[in-house]
Amino acid sequence: MEKGVSRGKRPELVGGGLVRSLGGWSQVLSLRRARRKACSDDRVLGSSEFVQTVLLEAEEKAQETLRLNLKITDFSTLAGKICKRVEIEESDLRSGLRNRPIANARRIFAQIAVKKVGYSGAEVARFLGVTTSAVNRLAASEEIDEMKIYT
């Protein structure tokens, strides 16, 4: 940081998304005079099209999460759906058993709860009775095709 301070103010690093993406205030003003619009967001640096794409993807992900939250009100609901489909008991899902059907069900549970619904790995780990590390590894592992059935 000390080296950066000695370099002083750098104009190429000043300004938010729109100003910086277009190349400065003069470009922004010329766009306004021409009555043209550009999509911008201070959190995203890039062309108008790129910013629009990023914002649409974020909105879609938020809508999917909201949709899943409405369908999955708690862990027991999700566990019940998965256990019924895989034909195991919820107590098996929450045990430390490692046979293939139970391990796959636990993996599906972790992926949906963490990646799709947005619960923390620690919350899911407490419910399943396993370590947070195990849940985070399961959530980050390759998605199982069966997962699509539950979402």
* pLDDT single digits (tens) 89-116: 999 999 888 899 999 999 999 999 998 8
pLDDT band at 50 (very low <50, low <70, confident <90, very high): confident
How much is the mean pLDDT over the chain? 78
pLDDT band at 58 (very low <50, low <70, confident <90, very high): confident
Q: Tell me, letter by letter, the H, E, C secondary structure of the chain.
A: CHHHHHHCCCHHHCCCHHHHHHCCHHHHHHHHHCCCCCCCECCECCCHHHHHHHHHHHHHHHHHHHHHHHHCCCHHHHHHHHHHHHCCCHHHHCCCCCCHHHHHHHHHHHHHHHHHHCCCHHHHHHHHCCCHHHHHHHHHCCCCCCHHHHC
Q: Where are the domains of the chain?
A: 2-53, 72-150
Classify 72-150 by CATH class.
Answer: mainly alpha
